[in-house]
Chain A
Amino acid sequence: MNPVFHNSATMKTKQDKNAKIYPSEKVRVTGAEAIMLSLINEGVDTIFGYPGGAIMPAYDALMNYSDKLKHILTRHEQGAIHAAEGYARVTGRVGVCMATSGPGATNLITGITNAMMDSTPLVCITGQVAAGLLGTDAFQETDVIGITMPVTKWNFLITKPEEIPSIMAQAFYIAKTGRPGPVVIDVAKNAQFGMLDYEYHKCKKMRSYAPEPRISLDNLKAASSLINKAKRPYILAGQGILLGNAEQEFLDFVEKSGVPVGWTILGSCALPKDHPQNIGMLGMHGNYSANILTNECDVLIAVGMRFDDRVTGDLNRYAKQAKIIHLEIDKAEINKIVKVDVPLLGDVKYTLPLLTKLIEKRSHAKWINRFKELDKIEYEKVIKRDFFPDKPGLTMGEVIHRINEKTQGDAIIVTDVGQHQMFASRYAKLNSTRSFVTSGGLGTMGFGLPAAHGAKIGKPEKQVILFVGDGGFQMTIQELSTINQTRAAVKIVLLNNKYLGMVRQWQQLFFDKRYSETYLLNPDFIKVAEGFGIKGKKVIERPMLDAAIQEMLDYEGPYLLEVSIEKEDNVFPMVPTGASVSEIILEQQK
């Protein structure tokens, strides 16, 4: 039993392959230099951060390695960590950020939590007061290990310089293997100043940590037999496919099985959007057919996803009729939300090909047709109205549609959180993997602008387009200054409806139109951008839109395109809270 065991999950990313250990012989260095050398040895070339008292030795050492380590000075630590997340998401590498103790570290918390929820590999290095001052309420002392414990995959407080190489090696190993996640390394100031004999060895194994569970051949057989017998099977694709670099393995599985595929918001690049078996987005604002037919399938094949409540709606009425197969790397996800008939633990990079081998080549044309029939209804009632509105007010859907026409899916799309995020996830054309960056699990407003910046730094050759609302934009608007400093050509599409639109939509639908504290008196965003040194243009009427988009895309530097959006432009379809996925609504109920 269980003969297949992939022990080492390393050697997957560029960072691993290119790094040569440096220097080749043992050297006597300060702890601060050891941090820089360890980053270089892990293949890091970009750090997002903000200096301060307790991290100053590290920043001083950074100057000696500026040829190998590029540092992006953000305007707030939250900007640094979201940028590191954006960078990690588009490159598949570990994002790195650095901050000082106390407020520097606490400003990272939102981003750390966001990375934890969305399984983004990060290593965050924070300065800490000298070891002798720990627990004394010293200036800028905070129990960073304590407060980050529930929101990190792992954390460690370094109090001695000689701990640095081995802990840094473990930090990178833990961040990127298994189900990835954020790691915080808190480094006391004395450990940065102190000397050590530095030599670096990457971590290859920890006995208490099994990043990739054993694959059960029995369960593989059980899963394949369920799939082979299924009449109406349905695949749910999650981010695990991207995290496992298993897009090709997934495509092979999808095409041999002939099974239709719905995807979660973070799984949106798992399968090309124009693939004939791609049914659409799952969940609260997902596609009509993708939700309704969840309750008609007979076998549900969940691949690298975690049955978030925004995906399942009411659990008591979620896929009750179906046998459920769950392909998942994290054992704690099995049976966490939905009782699974066949769990298939392991990295999908390995489990998917094994499963593909065991299944019969089939086509489920009639079943897929059921989805396509419902798609027509959604198109008539929702999509047509979003793309080609008959009212003068501009809609978010049409802006995204117009941009799609020009990029043809060949751009990285980044979003903030809210209505525009749902429109973007539903409508953005995406041709390649890792081209959609959004805050999924945590729903972090303010994520968009810094994440788009990080994405552009990570993939400078790609057009990076940010969709952001007027609310979220103002949560991290200071990062315009960082963008001006790097001149990273982020294209910002500000969809301004002067409201916290998603909350306003709920107030309209479920709170008798009582718009409690959702109206925003906004600044002149174009002037604000201009003040930050960023060119911008505002579009208030439909005829101006196409040319303005073209101008934005053609401009060689960062650019803000503000579009005035109709206030009551709501996101549909919608699975109201407490409703079943099959009760998804297409328009406001009378």
Chain B
Amino acid sequence: MAKKTINIENGNCTGGKKTYTISAFSENHIGLLNRITIIFTRRQVNIDSLTVSGSALPGIHKFTIVVHDCLEKVQKVVEQIEKLVEVLKAFYHTEEEVIHQEIALYKVPTKALLVSNKVEETIRKHSARILEVRPEYTVIELTGHKEETQELFDELSKYGLLQFTRSGRIAVTRSSKEVFTNYMKEIGKETVEYEKN
């Protein structure tokens, strides 16, 4: 007989912990970020990264949340997110199922570029680009997976990194079925419908 119990103990999941990208689509209402994050808090799931922005559809917001946890827990969190009255749909994807990017900005002292050609080599190697050059500093941008932006971070750290910032993940699915777009076509444009008297 197959294992019937769903093991929800912390750190004791049957399939081991993996990275999942959760995406949720909601109405653009005040407080939804809070409604969604308390679901993670209550179940003690740590959020690795979170990005919120308008989606392709007007009036609909997209949350992209990256977590590292066990499948059963992620599935339940997604169900609870979708249960929220103002959430239209929520999905979760494995790393293989999404194409994702993060953006990172690095501020380095310009003199580090001048004293040797190491920095130039590094930038070239990572296909990073320079956004601004000033006598005191230079701002470099790299878009990629976290490992890639981290690698550049490690290398530039040697030259006295002045500032560094990294965005949360954005992702699109590899699947050719546009589940959410089709769902939205089906449910229509009216946020709320009222009875006629």
Contact = CB atoms under 8 A, between A and B. Distances in A.
Interface of A: 21, 24, 145-146, 149-150, 153-154, 157, 166, 169-170, 174, 199-209, 315-316, 318-321, 324, 330-332, 334-339
Interface in B15-59: 26-27, 30-31, 34-35, 38, 42
A316 B87 CA distance: 33
A197 to B, nearest CB: 15
Given A208-B27, A332-B80, A169 B194 contact: yes
B79 A208 contact: no
Contact of A174 (B4, B85, B87): B85
Interface centre among A202, A208, A315 (most CB of B within 10 A): A208
B83 A208 contact: no
A166 B194 contact: yes
Given A146-B34, A321-B1, A208 B85 contact: yes
B193 A208 contact: no
Given A149-B35, A208-B27, A209-B85, A337 B6 contact: yes
A154 B31 CA distance: 11
A388 to B, nearest CB: 41
A320 B4 contact: yes
B66 to A, nearest CB: 22
B5 A339 contact: yes
B86 A202 contact: no
A145 to B, nearest CB: 6
B79 A203 contact: no
Contacts of B82: 331-332
A337 B5 CA distance: 7
Interface residues of B, number: 35
B192 interface: yes
B192 A335 contact: no
Interface stretch (B107-115, B128-136, B183-191): B183-191
Contacts of A169: 194
A334 B196 CA distance: 36
A203 B192 contact: yes
A150 B42 CA distance: 9
B76 interface: yes
Interface centre among A21, A174, A209, A320 (most CB of B within 10 A): A209
Contacts of A330: 83
Contacts of A324: 4
* Chain B at the A interface: SS class: mixed
A198 to B, nearest CB: 13
Contacts of A153: 85
B197 interface: yes
Interface in B146-197: 187-197
Contacts, number: 91
A202 B6 contact: no
Given A149-B31, A201-B196, A321-B1, A207 B85 contact: no
A413 B130 CA distance: 75
29 contacts: A21-B197, A145-B31, A150-B42, A157-B30, A166-B192, A166-B194, A169-B194, A200-B197, A202-B195, A203-B193, A204-B193, A204-B194, A206-B191, A206-B192, A208-B86, A315-B4, A318-B4, A320-B1, A331-B79, A331-B82, A331-B83, A332-B82, A332-B83, A334-B79, A336-B76, A338-B4, A339-B2, A339-B4, A339-B6
Interface centre among B2, B35, B38 (most CB of A within 10 A): B35
Contacts of B87: 208
Contacts of B193: 203-206
B79 to A, nearest CB: 4
A207 B6 contact: no
B76 A208 contact: no
A199 B196 CA distance: 11
B67 interface: no
Contacts of A24: 197
Contacts of B76: 332, 336
Nearest to B87: A208
Nearest to A24: B197
B88 A154 contact: no
Contact of B5 (A154, A157, A174, A338): A338
Interface string B51-82: 00000000000000000000000011001101
A209 B1 CA distance: 37
Contacts of A209: 85-86
Of all A-B residue pairs in the complex, the 4 with the closest CB atoms, nearest first, are A201-B194, A332-B79, A205-B193, A202-B195
A150 B76 CA distance: 16
B191 to A, nearest CB: 6
Contacts of A337: 6
Nearest to B2: A339
Contacts of A200: 197
A170 B195 CA distance: 11
Given A208-B85, A316-B5, A337-B6, A150 B195 contact: no
A201 B195 contact: yes
A21 B194 CA distance: 13
Contacts of A334: 79
B38 A150 contact: yes
Contact of B88 (A21, A157, A203, A208): A208
Contacts of B2: 339
Nearest to B27: A208
Interface centre among A169, A174, A332 (most CB of B within 10 A): A332
A23 to B, nearest CB: 11
A203 B194 contact: yes
A330 B79 CA distance: 10
B142 to A, nearest CB: 37
Contacts of A205: 190, 192-193
A208 B26 contact: yes
Contacts of A319: 4
Contacts of A203: 192-195
Nearest to B86: A208
Contact of B197 (A146, A201, A331, A332): A201
Contacts of B80: 332
Contacts of A174: 85
A200 B197 CA distance: 8
A486 B197 CA distance: 36
Contacts of B38: 149-150
Contacts of B4: 315, 318-320, 324, 338-339
A268 B195 CA distance: 36
B126 to A, nearest CB: 41
A206 B193 CA distance: 6
A321 B4 CA distance: 9
A351 to B, nearest CB: 19
